[in-house]
């Protein structure tokens, strides 16, 4: 038997949880699966509404060549008839008429209002029925498991990947599921010595709010005796600085197509941050990381800050050569600096060098700042006319004239409309359906050799006290809901544990762990859920964790290197 919770505990979890359709079904991956399971198994008449939502989502990411044909098919199946899979009983006739007109006009937003109507219906009676079902009680069990304490024993540590301002970044693996992450260790004494508590906490709180495929996601936050640890999306493909200067040769650049793909994904990441009111302030090649499939994400949000609605911020922070003129002059700003540094990034990917400073050029900061504010960047034959126009618009000296800056939180929309991205299907890119132009070799290590990564010296003269513990308590919050639930699903734990009793007719009923009566006390032999079991997923070698090689996921290996199926 896995994690048993009695009726009183379920009620307690219920009252401290957000319980509405938008949160449980639209935002929680496990909540969505269990609501779908409830509809399919217990209320087949509701299944058609979920089928429509899936079809509409499929339409949103369809390739342009077949998009119109799919729209006609879906309109006929779900909105033109009252039989079978039709959802006309919950979508008003005037909304259907408007959708028909949009279809005839060739609009891309045909089903938006229909989706709203269907979700509004599901959020009423169907969701109320779900709340009273064993499927919702199972959801509460998962929420209970999600809230369990996280410690250093939750993970197995591997080789060092790099260094941050307050400590090392290592590869790590969740012992129970096998999921790989990157663990950013922030040494407590180093934080205190540099008075970095506020910066560290802001970074953690911002990461905790973000759920984007274009920004590294925070999965866990915990503490050890000596460090605060952020467990983040692992990006094994290296950073763009490594690829520009170590993989492509001096002053070669990545090429227009590869630069376009990465630029589009970074623009999506900035769009997500800006919509949440966050200005990044550190967009540069070493902060843009590649994953196993060759897709990129924004990383290192240590300088990010919230911009108040209708307000602005000030701060002369960033990296020399990538800071916008208004940042150098310590003026107030909103999101404009991100589009300037984004322009620097696009330029560097294409040209193979930064626009205002050559690599390893020995020049004073004041001189680089002068170039940023007063000199015009130079363009070579590597730039197409569209690429040159994009960089020129992004690198405008005046924030008011800069592409993306005038629209505030919605500035990414104007950047995405630039003709440099004209042939890009943004919907498919945002859904992760476009193939990357470069896929990292799973056997290669796109980082410095472990022995070349300098170790931190010991911090002396700093003592930790009770006041520090208060700060650590704000940091040590354990699992982050959406990444944790995705981990359970992707690693097969959800399927393995989400078991119900089934009668002869195939109908599901409550298993013993979902009985609301208080359960019998577990025996001493009961090992509990395997999620808590500390079992080796790969052979332990007596090698320091700092040097331990990172295991390669089986699906990335060529067939000849994969272990035979048992």
Q: Is residue 282 flagged as an active site residue? A: yes
Any binding-site annotation on 193?
yes
The DSSP code sequence of 381-436 is: TTS-HHHHHHHHHHT-SSGGGSTTTTTGGGHHHHHHTSGGGTT--HHHHHTT-SPP
**Distances 490 to 30, 516, 537 between C-alpha atoms, Å:** 11, 29, 16
User: By three-state DSSP, how is residue 317 classified?
Assistant: coil
Strands (E), 217-326: 218-223, 227-233, 278-279, 288-290, 296-298, 305-306
DSSP H or E stretch at residue 429? helix 426-430
Identify the active-site residue in 239, 282, 291, 338: 282
What is the bridge-based pairing of β-strands 227-233 and 501-502? unpaired
| Nearest to 91, CA basis, from 118, 127, 56, 126 | 118
Strands (E), 331-483: 478-479
Q: In b/e form, how buried is each residue of 268-290, taking b as 16+ CB within 10 angstroms?
A: bbbbbbbeebbbbbbbbbbbbbb
127 contacts: CB under 8 Å, gap ≥ 6? 20, 21, 24, 25, 35
| Cβ atoms < 10 Å from Cβ of 253 | 20
The torsion angles phi and psi of 163, rounded to 5 degrees, stand at -125, 145
Alpha helices in 210-333 (DSSP H): 240-242, 256-275, 325-328
| Nearest to 442, CA basis, from 299, 285, 538, 555 | 555
Length of the chain in terms of residues written: 566
**Distances 410 to 113, 206, 276, 532 between C-alpha atoms, Å:** 22, 19, 10, 44
What is the bridge-based pairing of β-strands 180-187 and 305-306? unpaired
DSSP H or E stretch at residue 508? strand 508-509
DSSP 554: G
Annotated binding residues for ATP, written as ranges, equal 193
List binding-site positions: 193
Q: What residues act catalytically? A: 282
């Amino acid at each position: 038997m896995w994690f048993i919770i009695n009726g009183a505990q379920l009620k307690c979890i219920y009252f401290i949880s957000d319980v509405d359709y938008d949160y449980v079904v639209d935002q929680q991956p496990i909540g969505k699966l269990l609501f779908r399971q409830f509809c399919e198994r217990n209320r087949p008449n509701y299944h058609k509404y979920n089928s429509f939502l899936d079809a509409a989502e499929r339409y949103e990411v369809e390739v342009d060549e077949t998009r119109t044909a799919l729209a006609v098919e879906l309109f006929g199946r779900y909105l033109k008839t009252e039989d079978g899979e039709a959802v006309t009983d919950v979508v008003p006739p005037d909304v259907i008429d408007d959708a028909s007109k949009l279809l005839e006009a060739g609009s891309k937003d045909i089903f938006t209002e229909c989706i709203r109507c269907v979700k509004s219906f599901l959020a009423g009676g169907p969701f109320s029925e779900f709340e009273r079902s064993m499927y919702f009680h199972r959801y509460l069990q998962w929420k209970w498991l999600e809230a369990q304490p996280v410690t250093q024993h939750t993970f197995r540590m591997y080789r060092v990947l790099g260094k941050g301002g307050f400590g090392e970044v290592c590869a790590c693996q969740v012992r129970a599921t096998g999921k790989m992450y990157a663990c950013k260790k922030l040494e407590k004494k180093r934080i205190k010595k540099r008075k970095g508590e506020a910066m560290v906490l802001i970074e953690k709180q911002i990461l905790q709010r973000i759920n984007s495929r274009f920004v590294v996601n925070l999965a866990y936050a915990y503490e050890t005796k000596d460090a605060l640890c952020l467990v983040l999306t692992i990006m094994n493909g290296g950073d763009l600085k490594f690829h520009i200067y170590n993989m492509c040769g001096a002053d070669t650049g990545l090429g227009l197509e590869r630069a376009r793909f990465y630029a589009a994904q970074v623009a999506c990441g900035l769009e997500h941050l800006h919509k949440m009111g966050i200005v990044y302030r550190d967009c540069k090649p070493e902060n843009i990381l590649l994953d196993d499939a060759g897709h990129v994400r924004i990383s290192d949000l240590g300088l990010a800050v919230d911009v108040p609605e209708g307000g602005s911020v000030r701060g002369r922070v960033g990296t020399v050569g990538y800071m916008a003129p208004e940042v150098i002059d310590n003026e107030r700003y909103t999101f404009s600096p991100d589009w300037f540094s984004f322009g620097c990034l696009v330029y560097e990917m294409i040209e193979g060098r930064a626009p205002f400073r050559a690599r390893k050029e020995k020049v004073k900061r004041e001189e680089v700042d002068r170039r940023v504010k007063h000199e015009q960047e130079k363009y070579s034959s590597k730039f197409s006319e569209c690429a040159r126009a994009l960089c020129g618009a992004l690198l405008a000296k005046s924030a008011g004239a800069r592409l993306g800056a005038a629209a505030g939180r919605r500035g990414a929309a104007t950047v995405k409309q630039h003709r440099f991205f004209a042939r890009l299907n943004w919907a498919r890119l945002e859904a992760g359906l476009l193939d990357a132009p470069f896929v990292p070799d799973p056997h290669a290590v796109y980082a410095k050799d472990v022995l070349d990564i300098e170790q931190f010296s010991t911090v002396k003269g700093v003592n930790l006290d009770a006041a520090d513990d208060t700060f650590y308590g704000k940091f040590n919050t354990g699992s982050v809901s959406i990444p944790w639930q995705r981990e359970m699903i992707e690693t097969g734990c959800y399927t393995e544990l989400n078991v119900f009793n089934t009668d002869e007719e195939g109908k599901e009923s409550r298993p013993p762990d979902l009985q609301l009566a208080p359960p019998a006390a577990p025996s001493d032999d009961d090992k509990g859920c395997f999620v808590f079991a500390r079992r080796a997923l790969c052979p332990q070698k007596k090698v320091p964790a700092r040097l331990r090689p990172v295991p390669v996921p089986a699906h990335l290996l060529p067939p000849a290197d994969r272990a035979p199926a048992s």
